[in-house]
Amino acid sequence: MLIILVTKDKFLEAGFITLMGNVNVIMGRDLFTLDNKRDILNNDNFIIFCDEQFIRLMSCIFCGRHFSIISTNKVKSISDIITHIRRGFIVMVIRFAPSV
């Protein structure tokens, strides 16, 4: 399972990486480089934290894969992140579509 963060906010990126500690987090800007694109998208399951403006884009990119999209506006603490990650580990088959 991969955790992807897609946001324009550099402070949010730094804080998210600090909160996650030694868990591997992939930034959205790294997702679109040619070197990483094939390697990253071969994984089966994704948890995507993104801004509201990127929800539809991420839904299109990950269409046909198992993914969960969580808006960064809805995350208030580390417990919210842990809940989504645990839910992703337990329920791998369900794909959450954004309600936009």
- pTM of the entire structure? 0.72
DSSP 5-29: EE-S-HHHHHHHHHHHTTS-EEEHH
pLDDT > 50? residue 94: no
Residue in 99, 96, 62, 68 with CA at minimum distance from that of residue 84: 68
Domains (ranges, CATH) in the chain? Answer: 2-90 (3.40.50)
Query: Residue 17 — pLDDT band, cuts 50, 70, 90?
Result: confident
DSSP code of residue 97: P
The count of C-alpha atoms lying within 13 angstroms of the C-alpha of 95, restricted to the half-sphere facing its C-beta, is: 13
Given a cut of 80, whether residue 100 has pLDDT beyond it is no
Q: Where are the beta strands (DSSP E) in the chain?
A: 2-6, 25-27, 45-50, 66-71
Query: Are 91 and 72 a contacting pair, CB within 8 Å?
Result: no
Q: Given pLDDT bands bounded at 50, 70 and 90, which one contains residue 88?
A: low
